[in-house]
A and B are shown apart, each in its own frame.
Chain A
Amino acid sequence: MLTVLQTFDIILPVLYAANLALYVRHFVREGDDSDSLRRVTVPLMLVVHGAYFVIRGSEFSYFPLGSKPEFFSWLAYSLVLVYAAVERQLKQGRTGMFFLAIALFFQTGASVFMEYSAKHALLLENPVYAIHVIFTVLGVTALSVGALYSVMYAILSRQLKKREMGLFFKKLPPLALLDRSSKIGTVAGIALLGFGLGVGYAVAWEVDAFVSFGDPKLLATNVVWVGYVLGALWVKFKGLPSLKVAWLTIFWFLVFLGSAGANHSFLQ
């Protein structure tokens, strides 16, 4: 089984690279008609990657999120999963190369440094904890998708205001679509992360762990999440220019990254 896992660790970066190549081609070439091909290759890659997690989990008998390489692999997987959902919703693949490039970076790092031992925290054997982790990672990924779309919105908006009709002006999707993508990513992120945090409290209660709301990691995550919720409500009911929404999304995501970085990782 170890050989199978090692083979997967070679195949996965190759699959991410192949899909990235398709998205780059779609971004660069006018009239590229690889949509139907990507509709097969992206889900195929996700299925293969999903199978990898299942095999790894059954081989070592824990939810495979016990090490940094495993965490990176999850990030790559969830990033493409969330992006694919947004692409399906908006029917445009022009931005895919940005997300696939980041996912390829994470997956390559994961594959290179992957360890093959059954050493893990006992908590990772708890299925409810696994749900907490899955939703938290998906939530963070969706927020990052929203932030990345906000960056694209800010770039294109600036180019339009300054009459710079450069590469991004020609190749990026329309502003309205970037705005919608950013909002979809952010709202999905708020919902997924909120659910993940809720399940996290349930796990803590189930395993009878002491949870302190003064814990800096927990405090920071909760504050950031509440900030996102308040921001989304403000935009929904009071309105805000899209460019300001984009900057706010980027700023708040950076705050989130900063707080997460300060606490090393979600697992600690």
Chain B
Amino acid sequence: MMSNSRDISLFSFSHRNTPLEVRDRLVFSREETDAFVPIARGSVASEVAVLSTCNRTEFYLFGAPENLDWTSFAPVVGQAKEIVQGVSPTVFRGREAARHLFRVAASIESLALGEDQILAQVKEVHRQVLESSGKSPVLDRLCQFAIRAGKRVRTETALCDGAVSISSAAVTLAKRIFGDFRPLEIALIGAGETNESAAENFRAAGASRFVVVNRSPERGQALAEKFAGRYAPLEDLEKVLKTADVAVFATGSPTHLATRDMMKRVMKARSFQSIFMIDISNPRNVAPEVGDVSGVFLFNIDDLEQVVRDNLRERQAEIPKAEAIIEEVLDEWVAWMQSMQVLPTIGDLAKFFEAIRQQEIEKHRGKLSDEELATMEAFSKGMVKKLLHNPITFLRNAADQGLRPDDLHTVRNLFKLDDDQ
């Protein structure tokens, strides 16, 4: 008979080992996960959790059969998703499985190093574990440790600091100037994909007032509608710049749309209120001399790429610090798992002694008065407590100091605990 494992098993499909088209087929929605977990629990008699993002789908199991491999588990997954033959996951067990989840939560394993979303996705797995029918105490704890690792890495290192895309770098720079985006007017000059992405980033950062300036009214109006903004024709650019706080230029214009003279007029009209201009066009839409005008902060694509490169370099330099934190949390996890190993034995030991105590009390029940029986109860309870003190202390300490499986077997054999079970 196959025994159940007392460790975590993990089957991981990610951008490191699986092509995008296969990953796409394996993505689990929230509803699909909620439906799949009870089926998987029933099939492998273990705790099950699924972490599914656009870059990874991972199955975490605790208490599954010892030798459960992907060949055995694939049919279970196959009940929910189409399994592609010839594509196998990376398998992690025990400490390595926990370490992997902690690295994922810390975003070291992410395609975009230091990205923020993954921690929320691990929290979603935790929600799934807590809400699924049937208890999952070990995976519950594993998620808690992973979230703790993710939070510590974010607060104690700079792994997640700084923007790593052109659009987000623009938002970061704008934040250094304005702080709060809510009252700001964002002018998008050009209605292409670049400006759409920029608008998404500004909206995510809190901006809500958009003006789209474009040569073609159709595309301009479409983008303006998407962001609940207004459209203005290209001829009105100077007028728009008089009120905008941020202006993102991304058009195919071969000439400069904003010149030094124009910006001098604009700045006077806006009482010299600062304006942040981002030129991510090629060729440039904003004359470089505009950056010399007082109150104008002009950045082009080279500046933003430099910011991104610097930030990525800084994030990579933080990996060793993040890994050290993960190892600390991992040690705490291993200690917890070891204490979990001794808890059933401690419970069995206590039950064994209690059963003997009650047997002996029962033998004397008819021969003693109520008062004497109460004295016997108190006496026997105290005695059992004292007798158990040293063995329980030994087990607890052994758990903290690295318990050998033989130690546990010795204790169980000594009292024939497995027979009683």
Contacts and interface: CB of A to CB of B under 8 A. Distances in A.
Interface of A: 30-31, 156, 160-161, 163, 165, 169-170, 173-177, 179, 239-244
Contacts of B265: none
Contacts of B175: 174
A174 B173 CA distance: 10
B306 interface: yes
14 contacts: A30-B158, A31-B155, A156-B176, A160-B173, A160-B177, A161-B297, A163-B306, A174-B178, A176-B178, A239-B268, A241-B294, A242-B272, A244-B272, A244-B294
B161 interface: yes
Contacts of B176: 156, 160, 169, 174-175
A176 B250 CA distance: 25
Contacts of A243: 294-295
B306 A239 contact: no
B294 A31 contact: no
A234 to B, nearest CB: 11
A68 to B, nearest CB: 40
Given A169-B176, A177-B179, 18 more contacts: A30-B155, A160-B173, A160-B297, A163-B299, A163-B303, A165-B310, A170-B161, A174-B176, A239-B268, A239-B271, A239-B272, A240-B272, A241-B267, A241-B274, A242-B272, A243-B294, A244-B272, A244-B294
A35 B98 CA distance: 35
Contacts of B303: 163
B244 interface: no
A115 to B, nearest CB: 46
Contacts of B192: none
Nearest to B272: A241
A243 B291 CA distance: 14
A175 B178 contact: yes
Interface string B291-320: 100110101000100110010000000000
Nearest to B160: A30
Nearest to B179: A174
Interface residues of B, number: 25
Nearest to A244: B294
Interface of B: 154-155, 158, 161, 173, 175-179, 267-268, 271-274, 291, 294-295, 297, 299, 303, 306-307, 310
Given A30-B155, A31-B155, A161 B291 contact: yes
Nearest to A180: B179
A173 B179 contact: yes
A30 B161 contact: yes
B168 to A, nearest CB: 14
A176 B274 contact: yes
A6 to B, nearest CB: 42
A244 B267 CA distance: 13
A175 B184 CA distance: 14
B381 to A, nearest CB: 47
A165 B155 contact: no
B205 to A, nearest CB: 12
Nearest to A242: B274
B149 to A, nearest CB: 15
Contact of B177 (A31, A165, A176): A176
A170 B175 CA distance: 11
B307 A165 contact: yes
A23 B271 CA distance: 35
Given A31-B155, A165-B310, A174 B177 contact: yes
Nearest to B310: A165
Nearest to B157: A30
